[in-house]
Structure 1
Amino acid sequence: MPTASRYLQVIAHYHVKPGLGDRVSELLGELTAATRQEPKNLGYDFYRSPQDPDRFVILERYTDASGLDDHRAAPHFQRLGFGTIIPMLVSRQVQSFEVSVNGDGVATAVQR
């Protein structure tokens, strides 16, 4: 759980073109390492489906919406994300949520 009382949670679902899952996994590893260095990034992890190696879920957390904007504008995302990974996808679904955590640790989320 991030230390901030408010943050932006992004959940992305990637369906990769058949047979490209291994390559996308490698590229996501590179993207993960670079994204975790961004000043407004609180967390970035990706998971590959054990049932379908061409499906991934990416969980991203940023201090606020401007952190996601900065991420999308970053050279590593332009090169790896937009330039390489996204053209290898059959489909992609991205949702973002403004999350607030109260003093008792209870979180509420509002889709953005």
Structure 2
Amino acid sequence: MANAYLQVIAHFFAKPGHGDAIVKHLAELAEATRAEPKNLYYEFFRSPLEPDHFVILEQYSDANGLAEHRETEHFQRLGFGTIIPLLERREVSSHMVPGDAA
């Protein structure tokens, strides 16, 4: 029986022309995040129609995983310090996903 996990869905909207820079930084952030103990999954996707729009899907083993992720050195440096200043806006939602009943 699988345990419940936290699913995070983020939409990042880059300032016009900053999409390529964000790809580079997101790739570095993704690699570091995947090594976190509570991270189960981290992938990001770039829209082919709107190259300044990104969707990030993250999964953490418990409800505290996202908060702990935001405190890491790599998120402080890459997320807050580098990526977020390049965004026009971001939308982040998180949801607990129940474990399997089987």
- The higher relative CO (CA closer than 8 Å, separation ≥ 6) is in 2
Structure 1 runs, 4 residues or longer, greater than 3 Å off: none
When the two structures are aligned, how many residues end up with a matched partner? Answer: 102
Q: CA deviation at 1:4?
A: 3.5
Structure 2: unaligned runs, 5 residues or longer? none
- Residue equivalent to 2:45: 47
Query: 1:2-32: per-residue Cα shift (whole Å, max 9, x none)?
Result: x832000000000000000000001000000
Distance (whole Å) between structure 2 residues aligned to residue 78 and residue 4 of structure 1: 31
- Residue equivalent to 1:79: 77
The equivalent position to 2:12 in structure 1, one of 11, 14, 18, is 14
The alignment's C-alpha RMSD in Å is 1.1
Distance (whole Å) between structure 2 residues aligned to residue 67 and residue 92 of structure 1: 19
SS in 1 for 2:7: strand
Q: Is the 8 A contact 2:2 2:100 kept in 1?
A: no
After TM superposition, the structure 1 stretch with the greater mean CA deviation from structure 2, 3-12 or 51-60, is: 3-12
Q: CA deviation at 1:52?
A: 0.7
Structure 1: unaligned runs, 5 residues or longer? 105-112
Distance (whole Å) between structure 2 residues aligned to residue 102 and residue 96 of structure 1: 19
Q: Is the 8 A contact 2:44 2:56 kept in 1?
A: yes
SS in 1 for 2:91: strand
The equivalent position to 2:54 in structure 1, one of 50, 53, 56, is 56
- Residue equivalent to 1:27: 25
Q: Is the 8 A contact 1:40 1:64 kept in 2?
A: yes
After TM superposition, the structure 1 stretch with the greater mean CA deviation from structure 2, 63-72 or 9-18, is: 63-72
User: TM-score of the superposition, structure 2-length normalised?
Assistant: 0.96
SS in 2 for 1:95: strand
User: TM-score of the superposition, structure 1-length normalised?
Assistant: 0.87
SS in 2 for 1:90: strand
